[in-house]
Amino acid sequence: MAQDAIVADKLAYWFGDLVAVDHISFSVAKGEILGFLGPNGAGKTTTVKMLTGQLKPKDGKAILLGMDVPENIEHVQSEIGVCFEDTNLYQRMSAVENLNLFARLFNVKSFDAYALLKRVGLAEREKDRVENYSKGMKQRLMVARSLVSQPQILFLDEPTTGLDPTSSEAIRNIILEERKRGATIFLTTHDMMEADKLSDRVAFMNQGKIVALDKPLNLKQKYGKRALKARVSGKSGTLESREIVLDTPQTPGDLQNLFEKENVVTIHSEEATLEDIFIKITGRGLTE
Amino acid sequence: MNLKRISILLGKEFIHSPKNFMFIWAIVAPLAFTLVATLAFGTLFSEKPNLGIVNEGNSQLVVMAQELDSVTAKTYEDVSSLKQATESGAVDMGIVLPQNFDNAVLQGEIVVIEAYIWGESLAKNRIILPTIISDLVRELAGQEVPVEIESVTLGDEVSTPWSERLIPFLVFMGVFFGGLMLPSTSLIEEKQRKTFEALVITPASISDIFIAKGILGIVLSVFMGVVILLLNQAFGANSLLLVGVLFLGAIMAVELGLIFGALIKDITTLFTIWKAGGIILFGPVFIYMFPQIPEWIGRLFPTYYALQPIVELSLRGGGWSDIAVSVFILIGIDILLVFVIAIAARGLMQRS
């Protein structure tokens, strides 16, 4: 059996009396994309900090590529790439200088900054100071920086937040390309659609605990309500909505009635979103 | 700790720090103060030291002294006129060469020279003149001769010239301002812009980052100390020892800077603390500015142990025995601060 890329074993961290991460356990297989979801203050960032060696767990173990993180910090950090939510580039340096600095710190031999910048669509602005970049360009450079060492594990924290659709799409494509390369991706996000689209599995974190962890489809099947939404033409000619819940004993009869007795204008299936499921499980929204 | 990564980070610091306003300020401010002080007190273009001589016999040393370019030698008829000239500041140092002085020298006897020193003469002159006299005596004897100079200070001893009283302040500013402010502002800036977070998830450790910033601070600090001492013509006779002390003082300044950088959140707070707490750092400077203040008060400040050896070597012509205790205490403080940095760095990692 292939070794998991990331293993959290009863991982815990607290700040005084506040338990930020409460003995969570999960694993991420090599080449898998895990969407890590939760509202602000749920403990996502603290978890990522323990996994990336920025914080030493107060309890439990963080294991990356078979190595205990605090005990092999330098080795672990040479195998990971991290893209932070907040822009933390050297603003007075150019894109090339930023990438070259980190490539040297990662001891990357024959690093081609231009090729990487081309990949994220910044090749033409390679020598411009970063302070003159737009938010989307900076974010793409952040992603590029996390890739300088061709990491085996990539931690991406809200990589598309606040970006225009083109930049977001470019970053999503890079994530998928990285998975294709064999990288394991730990994607922290608020964006349910993004998590749904990209992740092989998603983990919901709330108040320091993982409350659900599965494939998006399985979660939807387990917690969601599948339904058909129809728009019918009423007696006075106005459009009215009808909903037929699927997977119940009444469903066939309801469907028959709909088509026999109503004048159906449009009909489509509807499944629960990850946001609906999160609210159902935790009683709170992701943006709270 | 990894030397390669430290050198990479140091390269970044060297390339980008000169664009930092603090780097410019750390160089400009002490130099500007030095220039103002030296121009105001006339030491920048000061004349050669004046040596007064009473020649009771017929010593050749007088002629030899008058032939020198580095000193202005004047002769006086008797000891009372020499004393008068010394007391009034007409000469920086007056010496009396007794009868048969040259014979005694040639026979290799121990030479004792009575010397009068003007209380307000510049320290560099007080250091230079005895050295010149000793060299002349050896030249006259054609061999190594033990020379003892028994000095008596004339005039107001307390009234050390302001140009000299300011030197400890100027040197201290050069060493401590750059050494402390450059690493602290650089570290705070990295925290505020969150680039620190980006660095610590690379294989570079927090100690690599701190050492790189520290080295830049030490280089700037020692460089500024040396430049200011040279500009003030106060480098003294023990230049290597002085540079060594400057180096130890620079380490202390940099360590304090790194501690401040690790603990303080923003540049504004740093400046507030600098303004309010600067007195603790600069306390010993006032001891040298105002000699009426008892020197033991200075010993209460940790920075005294960096400043005292510098003053002793550069202004008072002292040697190792005069500074040994302070230097050992300074080394102790430097080592202690390493542990404080380690604690501050751990806290920084948890907060970042």
Reply yes or no on whether the pLDDT at B43 is more than 70.
no
Asked if the Cβ–Cβ distance from A54 to B197 is below 8 Å, we say: yes
* Chain A environment of B17 (Cβ under 8 Å): none
Query: What pLDDT, on a 0 to 100 scale, did the predictor assign at position A90?
Result: 92
Please, which contacts does A25-29 make with residues 24 or more away whose CB atoms are closer than 8 Å? A25/A60, A25/A210, A26/A203, A26/A210, A26/A213, A28/A4, A28/A184, A28/A186, A28/A201, A29/A2, A29/A4, A29/A5, A29/A184
Asked if the Cβ–Cβ distance from A80 to B5 is below 8 Å, we say: no
- The proportion of chain B whose per-residue pLDDT surpasses 90, expressed as a percent, equals 18
Which H, E and C letters describe chain B, residue by residue?
CCHHHHHHHHHHHHHHHHHCHHHHHHHHHHHHHHHHHHHHHCCCCCCCCEEEEEECCCCCHHHHHHHCCCCEEEEECCHHHHHHHHHHCCCCEEEEECCCHHHHHHCCCCEEEEEEEECCCCHHHHHHHHHHHHHHHHHHHCCCCCEEEEEEEECCCCCCCHHHHHHHHHHHHHHHHHHHHHHHHHHHHHHHCCHHHHHHCCCCCHHHHHHHHHHHHHHHHHHHHHHHHHHCCCCCCCHHHHHHHHHHHHHHHHHHHHHHHHHCCCHHHHHHHHHHHHHHHHHHHHHHHCCCCCHHHHCCCCCHHHHHHHHHHHCCCCCHHHHHHHHHHHHHHHHHHHHHHHHHHHHHHHHC
Asked if A88 is an interface residue toward chain B (Cβ–Cβ < 8 A), one would say yes
Nearest residue in A to B6, CA atom: A105
Q: Which of residues 290-349 of B touch A (CB under 8 A)?
A: 349
Instruction: Please enumerate in sequence order all residues whose Cβ is within 8 A of that of B61, keeping only pairs 6 or more positions apart, or say none.
Output: B53, B97, B101, B102, B136, B137, B140
Asked if A106 is an interface residue toward chain B (Cβ–Cβ < 8 A), one would say yes
How close is the nearest chain A Cα to the Cα of B198, in Å?
Answer: 7
How close is the nearest chain A Cα to the Cα of B117, in Å?
Answer: 57
Asked if the Cβ–Cβ distance from B200 to A54 is below 8 Å, we say: yes
pLDDT tens string B294-312:
778 888 888 899 888 988 8
* Chain B environment of A93 (Cβ under 8 Å): 16
Query: What's the Cα-to-Cα distance from B157 to each of A92, B84, B195, rounded to whole Å?
Result: 54, 15, 55
| CATH code that applies to domain B50-121+123-154 | 3.40.1710.10
State the amino acid at position A186 in one-letter form.
F
Reply yes or no on whether the pLDDT at B288 is more than 70.
yes
Residue in A74, A86, A145 closest to B194 by CB: A86
ipTM of the complex: 0.80
Query: What pLDDT, on a 0 to 100 scale, did the predictor assign at position B179?
Result: 87
Asked if the Cβ–Cβ distance from B201 to A86 is below 8 Å, we say: no
Query: What pLDDT, on a 0 to 100 scale, did the predictor assign at position B32?
Result: 81
Query: What pLDDT, on a 0 to 100 scale, did the predictor assign at position B44?
Result: 52
Reply yes or no on whether the pLDDT at B84 is more than 90.
no
Asked if B207 is an interface residue toward chain A (Cβ–Cβ < 8 A), one would say no
Beta strand pairing call for A59-64 and A201-206: unpaired
Q: Which of residues 162-191 of B touch A (CB under 8 A)?
A: none
Instruction: Supply the mean pLDDT for chain B.
Output: 83
Reply yes or no on whether the pLDDT at B184 is more than 70.
yes
Asked if the Cβ–Cβ distance from B197 to A101 is below 8 Å, we say: no
Asked if A3 is an interface residue toward chain B (Cβ–Cβ < 8 A), one would say no
Residue in B5, B16, B352 closest to A105 by CB: B5
How close is the nearest chain A Cα to the Cα of B216, in Å?
Answer: 18
As a whole number, mean pLDDT of residues B52-78 equals 84
Hey, of A52, A69, A105, A149, which one would you mutate to test binding to chain B, going by the most B CBs within 10 A of its CB? A105
Query: What pLDDT, on a 0 to 100 scale, did the predictor assign at position A32?
Result: 93
Answer with the residue of higher pLDDT: B253 or B89.
B253
Nearest to A224 by CA among A286, A272, A270, A192: A272
Reply yes or no on whether the pLDDT at B62 is more than 90.
no
As a whole number, mean pLDDT of residues A9-31 equals 92
* Chain A environment of B201 (Cβ under 8 Å): 52-54, 77, 80, 82
* Chain A environment of B346 (Cβ under 8 Å): none
Asked if A77 is an interface residue toward chain B (Cβ–Cβ < 8 A), one would say yes
- The proportion of chain B whose per-residue pLDDT surpasses 70, expressed as a percent, equals 92
CA A20 – CA B350 distance, rounded (Å)? 13
Asked if A89 is an interface residue toward chain B (Cβ–Cβ < 8 A), one would say yes
Asked if A91 is an interface residue toward chain B (Cβ–Cβ < 8 A), one would say yes
Beta strand pairing call for A67-68 and A59-64: antiparallel
Helix axes A274-282 and A216-223, enclosed angle (nearest 10): 60
How close is the nearest chain A Cα to the Cα of B221, in Å?
Answer: 25
Range with the largest mean pLDDT of B18-27, B249-258, B311-320: B249-258
Nearest to B74 by CA among B92, B98, B56: B92
Asked if residue B54 lies in contact with residue B75, where contact means CB atoms within 8 angstroms, the answer is yes
Query: What pLDDT, on a 0 to 100 scale, did the predictor assign at position B163?
Result: 67
* Residue A189 phi, psi (nearest 5): -155, 160
How close is the nearest chain A Cα to the Cα of B220, in Å?
Answer: 22
Asked if the Cβ–Cβ distance from A84 to B205 is below 8 Å, we say: no
CA B220 – CA A129 distance, rounded (Å)? 27
Asked if B84 is an interface residue toward chain A (Cβ–Cβ < 8 A), one would say no
CA A231 – CA A245 distance, rounded (Å)? 15
Total number of residues shown for chain A: 288
Asked if residue A99 lies in contact with residue A116, where contact means CB atoms within 8 angstroms, the answer is yes
Whole-prediction pTM: 0.75
Asked if B205 is an interface residue toward chain A (Cβ–Cβ < 8 A), one would say yes
Residue in B4, B16, B198 closest to A88 by CB: B198
Query: What pLDDT, on a 0 to 100 scale, did the predictor assign at position B42?
Result: 56
Reply yes or no on whether the pLDDT at B140 is more than 90.
no
CA A204 – CA A284 distance, rounded (Å)? 12
Nearest residue in A to B205, CA atom: A74
Reply yes or no on whether the pLDDT at B205 is more than 80.
yes
How close is the nearest chain B Cα to the Cα of A264, in Å?
Answer: 57
Q: Which of residues 133-162 of A touch B (CB under 8 A)?
A: 145
Other C-beta atoms lying within 10 Å of the C-beta of residue B339: 9
Q: Is A78 exposed, middle or buried (0-12, 13-18, 19+ CB in 10 A)?
A: middle
* Chain A environment of B8 (Cβ under 8 Å): 101, 104-105
Asked if B16 is an interface residue toward chain A (Cβ–Cβ < 8 A), one would say yes
- The proportion of chain A whose per-residue pLDDT surpasses 90, expressed as a percent, equals 38
Tokens of A178: 């990285």
As a whole number, mean pLDDT of residues B336-348 equals 90
Residue in B16, B193, B202 closest to A106 by CB: B202
How close is the nearest chain A Cα to the Cα of B303, in Å?
Answer: 35
Asked if the Cβ–Cβ distance from A54 to B204 is below 8 Å, we say: no
Nearest to A52 by CA among B211, B9, B203: B203
pLDDT tens string A149-182:
999 999 999 888 777 888 888 888 899 999 999 9
Other C-beta atoms lying within 10 Å of the C-beta of residue B29: 16
What is the distance between the terminal CA atoms of chain A, rounded to a whole angstrom? 40
- The proportion of chain A whose per-residue pLDDT surpasses 70, expressed as a percent, equals 98
Residue in B16, B201, B205 closest to A92 by CB: B16
CA B139 – CA A164 distance, rounded (Å)? 85
Tokens of B327: 């230097």
As a whole number, mean pLDDT of residues B309-329 equals 85
Which H, E and C letters describe chain A, residue by residue?
CCCEEEEEEEEEEEECCEEEEEEEEEEEECCCEEEEECCCCCCHHHHHHHHCCCCCCCEEEEEECCEECHHHHHHHHHCEEEECCCCCCCCCCEHHHHHHHHHHHCCCCCCCHHHHHHHCCCHHHCCCEHHHCCHHHHHHHHHHHHCCCCCCEEEEECCCCCCCHHHHHHHHHHHHHHHHHCCEEEEEECCHHHHHHHCCEEEEEECCEEEEEECHHHHHHHHCCCEEEEEEECCCCCEEEEEEECCCCCHHHHHHHHHHHCCEEEEEEECCCHHHHHHHHHCCCCCC
* C-alpha B122, offset from chain centre: 15
Residues A58/A64/A66/A72 CA torsion (nearest 10 deg):
-70
Reply yes or no on whether the pLDDT at A216 is more than 90.
no
Residue pointed to by tokens 């002490």:
B30
As a whole number, mean pLDDT of residues A77-85 equals 90
CA B30 – CA B35 distance, rounded (Å)? 9
The structural domains of chain B, with segments of one domain joined by +, span: 3-41+161-351, 50-121+123-154
